[in-house]
Amino acid sequence: MTPSWRKPVGAFLIIAIITVWAFIVASAAGPIGQLPVLIQAPIYLAAGIVWILPLKPLLMWMETGKWRE
């Protein structure tokens, strides 16, 4: 078996997605920090989960070479 180039590329893309998302959330921290804590918590909870959404198709592509099932 020859190694697939998709896995290193996919790993790089995962790191890039996390980095970009962290930058976006950190950029929004100022205005979000002005809100009451009970409003901040769900915003940061959602922000902590949303970055996972693009990973399913990316991981599928890394394994199979297809974006959809």
Model pLDDT for residues 9-66, shown as the tens digit of each residue: 999 999 999 999 999 999 999 999 999 999 999 999 999 999 888 888 898 988 887 7
Spell 16-25 as b/e; 16+ CB within 10 A means b: ebeeebeeeb
Which among 6, 1, 24, 8 has a CA at the least distance from the CA of 64?
Answer: 6
Dig out the tokens for 54 from the structure.
Answer: 């693009």
Residues 6+ positions from 59 with CB-CB distance below 8 Å: 10
Degrees, nearest 5: CA angle 28-21-48: 85
- pTM for the full model? 0.77
